[in-house]
Amino acid sequence: MEDCKMTSKHKTWLLTGAVAIAGMAAGSLPALAAEAPQWCKDIANGIYCAEPEATPPDFCGTKEIRVALADGFADNPWRQMTTAAAINEASRCPNVTGWTHTDGQGNTQKAISDVQGLAAQGVEAIVVFPDAGPAMLPALRDAFKQGSAVVPYRVKVGGKEGEDYSVFVGTKFYDHGVAWAKWMAEALGGKGTVGYEGGPAGNSESVEKSQGMHDVLKDYPDIQWIGQDPFEVTNWDPSMMAKSITALIAKYPKIDGMFGDLSIPILTSGAFQRAGRDLPLIAGEDANGFGCEWEKLHADGKESSFQFMTTSAEQWNVRLAIQWAIAEATGGKVDQPLIIKDTKGGEHVAANPGDKLVTNFVMDDSLKGIVFCTPELPASAGNGTSLTTEQTLAALKGGL
């Protein structure tokens, strides 16, 4: 019969074993208050890394994966802020071990080979901004069939979810148009002339927004649509916008309101000012410069006809795409609402749990006194992306 009392040798073994078990348990827990993931710290000294959370969000899952963002084109402020937001979102998951960002440089062939390259490397979660539209579908399909989670976002590619790619994450441009037109109709008191400065001929974003506007404005017979229908073609280029506005000024004695995708040039290109005309009301997408111009025009009690309203430019759309891509790759769940913080500390619900389409929200409304102007940020920065001012500034300096 053995003595069952614990000897000191047994105690030592027990203690060692307990320490070992505790050590292993601690080691396998995600780094808590500690560190951002190394891949994130390698990008611009880790400025975009999210604050580590006590429990990683459900969309992360647990499987270790790499994430990639494949852009058809990356050289404009919207894309730069979007990339920063994507890095920020992906860094919330400690199980993400690698990050790649590819830039198709506006070349469809390159964009396709970028996606093919990522699939060949076995990157498990690929988010794609398919600028080339349906031309990207075969590459997406191949990557999906090779086992990657593929999430195209914002530009439709055709095809079917679950067969050609995992999930399509989008936005409802129609709703932007509706929001703009509703504000404009009210601000104008139901009467006046309005025009819309859109993008390249036939682009779906401007077409859908225009539909939204028309559906609202048809209830306001005293509001006259001037200029081209569905929109003035400007390729989002400030000098073409200036020329288009000059033509409208020539034809119409008064322009009361303007809509614009890229709206700041309506103000800054000087077409109204050079013609000696009052500034119109403007509804468009948010940009820091807008609020700052408004503040300048209204500073020190100055009189100005200029009032404006903006909806979010959605440089955070990619966050939902990243969440879906990671969830699809790891078996995680997109079961939290997507909440976007603006630079005034406000919070906006941009997507409900499980949504694949984001919901837009209003940013500025100068008639209600809500104006965003962050003096440290350049004109094309966004104030509602959940990025901090430092992160936004770093993103716009490039190098992502």
Partner 1 sequence: MRTLRNSLRSSGGILIATLLLFLLSWLVQPESLGQGAMSGMIPFAAILAIVALGQTLVIQQGGIDLSVPGVVSLSGVIVAYYSSSQPGFQGTALGLAIAIAFAAALAAGVINGLLVSKARVAPIVATIGTNALLYGVNLRISGGTPVQVPASLSEFVDYKIFGVTTLAYLAVIVTVIVSFIIKRTVFGRRFEAVGANARAARAAGVVAVNYQMAAYVGACLLYCLGGIFLAGLMSLPSAFQGDTYLIPSIAAVVLGGTSLFGGAGNLAATVIAAVFLTQLQQLVLTTGASVGVQFLFQGGAIIVGVGVYSLRLNRLTGLLRKLGAQGPTPRIAGGPTA
Site for partner 1, rule CB under 8 A: 74-77, 79-80, 201, 227-228, 233, 237-240, 242-247, 249-251, 264-265, 268-271, 273-277, 289, 375-380, 393, 396-399
Comparing CB distances to partner 1, the nearer of 323 and 392 is 392
Least distance in angstroms from the C-beta of 293 to partner 1: 10
Tell me how far, at minimum, the Cβ of 400 lies from partner 1, in Å. Answer: 8
Residue with smaller CB distance to partner 1, 1 or 250: 250
Residue 11 or 274: the one with the smaller Cβ distance to partner 1 is 274
Residue 182 C-beta: closest distance to partner 1, Å = 26
CB atoms within 10 A of CB 75: 11
Alpha carbon distance 99, 23 (integer Å): 29
Question: Which residues have a Cβ under 8 Å from the Cβ of 272 and sit 6 or more positions away?
Answer: 245, 249, 255, 266, 278, 279, 280
Dihedral, CA atoms, 117, 118, 122, 124, nearest 10 degrees?
-160
Cβ of residue 44: shortest distance to partner 1, in angstroms?
13
Can you say whether the dihedral through the CA atoms of 104, 171, 135, 65 is positive or negative?
A: positive
Minimum gap (Å) between residue 186 Cβ and partner 1: 27
Q: How far is the CB of 162 from partner 1 (least distance, A)?
A: 35
Number of Cα atoms under 13 Å in the Cβ half of residue 183:
25
Nearer to partner 1, 37 or 199 (CB): 199
| ∠ CA 56-119-159, rounded to 5° | 90
**What's the min distance (Å) between Cβ of 228 and partner 1?**
7
Cβ 335 to partner 1 shortest distance, Å = 36
| Cβ 73 to partner 1 shortest distance, Å | 9
Looking at the Cβ atoms of 249 and 362, the one nearer to partner 1 is 249
Residue type, 147: G
- Nearest-10 crossing angle of helices 77-90, 317-330: 40
Of the pair 80, 360, the CB lying nearest partner 1 is at 80
Residue with smaller CB distance to partner 1, 12 or 239: 239
**Rounded to whole angstroms, how far apart are CA atoms 263 and 290?**
8
Closest distance to partner 1 from the beta carbon of 348 (Å):
24
Q: In this complex, which beta carbon is closest to partner 1, that of residue 53 or of residue 376?
A: 376
